[in-house]
């Protein structure tokens, strides 16, 4: 299986997961032009996608959804609450009702050879989820937009062979940064986003010998930077109550503007 990021960050997200026969996009929070260009870098076409998995309705995850759905007619998978929220966002435009497929958290569904498991997350959206995707041999997770984690999240992340995990902000940068106080409270709250520290602590709970690669994603433009996220997450893994060190696994950053490497497990 493979994973790559076309864009990941507070200004737009689009991730691709698949195998030799089936691929799905997770979110379309960037322009259709950027999606097409990103796919081309991996010798794929947007029209090759077997579906779009939507995590939630915030604009950095769906701003390009209307354009892509109208252009390519790709099926869209999302929870009922997310679908209803999308229908009320005028900027998305009209989407053919027949393209929507309602999914439920913790209920698996299949797209070709891929089995997808929606994972309920704590975020200030209508009915948000993260996703794990498996072809029966390998499992990949895309886990972002969660303000906190618990035993349920940890259990659902076990056994993954590759992972894109949120490392949204540095706590101190957020605290002293330019955001208004209510926004700072939202981001750092239980329905906001994972800090670098929490990301590293969560990662330490789900690492195992067969973890092939980790991408840190959804970094804030204003309250984080790549080297800080990378070093903080590695440090938390090393200091954590687990048998691993931060250097034991390949860890990279999913950039907000550029495509990532192609991760194959």
Summarised one tens digit per residue, pLDDT across range 240-252 is 999 999 999 999 9
Q: Work out the average pLDDT over 195-207.
A: 98
Q: What is the CATH number of the domain that holds 27?
A: 3.60.15.10
* pTM, full prediction: 0.96
Mean pLDDT of the chain: 97
Cα dist. 109→43, 125, 130, 226 in Å?
A: 27, 22, 14, 34
Reply yes or no on whether the pLDDT at 255 is more than 90.
yes
- Antiparallel, parallel or unpaired: β 139-143 and 129-134: antiparallel
The 3-state DSSP class for residue 166 equals strand
Distance CA 105, CA 16 (A): 20
Q: Which of 132, 126, 103 is nearest to 57 (CA)?
A: 126
Reply yes or no on whether the pLDDT at 161 is more than 90.
yes
| pLDDT at 183 (0 to 100) | 94
Reply yes or no on whether the pLDDT at 10 is more than 90.
no
Q: Which domain covers residue 164, as residue numbers? A: 2-264
Reply yes or no on whether the pLDDT at 37 is more than 90.
yes
Summarised one tens digit per residue, pLDDT across range 97-123 is 999 999 999 999 999 999 999 999 999
Q: Give the number of domains in the chain.
A: 1
């Amino acid at each position: 299986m493979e994973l790559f990021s076309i864009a990941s960050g507070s200004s737009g997200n689009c991730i691709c997961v698949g195998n030799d026969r089936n691929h799905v996009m997770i979110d379309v929070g960037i322009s259709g032009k950027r999606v097409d260009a990103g796919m081309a870098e991996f010798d794929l076409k947007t029209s090759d996608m077997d579906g779009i998995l939507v995590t939630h309705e915030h604009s950095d995850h769906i701003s390009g959804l209307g354009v892509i759905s109208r252009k390519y007619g790709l099926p869209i998978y999302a929870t009922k609450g997310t679908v209803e929220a999308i229908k009320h966002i005028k900027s998305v435009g009209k989407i053919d009702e027949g393209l929507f497929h309602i999914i439920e958290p913790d209920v698996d569904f299949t797209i070709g050879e891929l089995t997808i498991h929606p994972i309920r997350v704590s975020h200030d959206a209508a009915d948000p989820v993260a996703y794990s995707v498996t072809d029966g041999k390998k499992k990949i997770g895309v886990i972002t937009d969660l303000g906190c984690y618990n035993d349920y999240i940890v259990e659902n992340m076990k056994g993954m062979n590759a992972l894109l995990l949120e490392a949204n902000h540095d706590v101190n940068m957020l605290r002293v940064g330019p955001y208004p106080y209510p926004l700072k409270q939202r981001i750092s709250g239980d329905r906001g986003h994972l800090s670098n520290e929490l990301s590293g602590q969560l990662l330490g709970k789900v690492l195992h010998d067969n973890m092939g690669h980790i991408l840190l994603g959804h970094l804030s433009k204003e309250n984080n930077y790549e080297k800080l996220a990378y070093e903080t997450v590695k440090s938390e893994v090393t200091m954590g109550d687990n048998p691993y060190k931060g250097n034991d696994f390949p860890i990279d950053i999913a950039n907000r503007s550029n495509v990532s490497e192609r991760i194959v497990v």
